[in-house]
Every structure is written in C-alpha cells, then in structure tokens.
Amino acid sequence: MPIIHAVMSSAATFPPTDPVERERWLDGIVPLAEGAVLRCCSVDTLMREHKRGRLKLFRRSQRLWGIRRRDALLFGE
C-alpha cells in the first residue's frame, strides 16, 4: 500500500474562525499538488476534470497551475 505524503503548507493549517477571513481563505489559490491532496485524487484527475469543464483551474505562471481551495475541498459557492 503506497504512503501518501501530504503537502505541508496552507492546507495543513486550520481555517480561520472569522467568517470574512474564512471566505478569503477558501478563495485562496493553492498549487495543484496541494489541491490533489485536499481532494484525495491525483493531479492528472484534476487536469482531466478541468478539460471536461467540471472544474476551474487557474494558470499561475507559464508552467504552474492552481486551484481554489474551495473547489479542492468540494465546497459550493
């Protein structure tokens, strides 16, 4: 059974308790690797879902892609 190494960054922190800060935290853009850990899937799955139009990914630079934390955690608008 493979061992999954979690990405230790903003995903490892608890969300803020203040409602306004919580919304800002959920709307933050995280790297695809971190989004895949939050969603319990692979980066390839995120890219396929984006190509099908089911998921919105953001281009952070020419090579880097990101996903909103809200979308990675499967929270609605």
Helix (H) / strand (E) element for 47: namely: helix 43-51
Q: Place 1 in a pLDDT band, splitting at 50, 70 and 90.
A: very low
List of residues 6+ apart from 35 with CB closer than 8 A: 46, 66, 67, 69, 71, 72
Q: Is 22 in a helix, a strand, or coil?
A: helix
Instruction: Give the pLDDT score at 77.
Output: 47
Q: What's the chain's average pLDDT?
A: 84
Measured CA to CA, the distance from residue 66 to residue 60 in angstroms comes to 6
Write the pLDDT tens digit of every residue in 10-28.
445 688 899 999 999 999 9
pTM: 0.74
Examine the pLDDT at 38 and tell me if it is beyond 80.
Answer: yes
**Which residues, in sequence order, are CB contacts of 11 under 8 Å at separation 6+?**
30, 34, 37, 38, 69
Over residues 46-66, mean pLDDT? 93
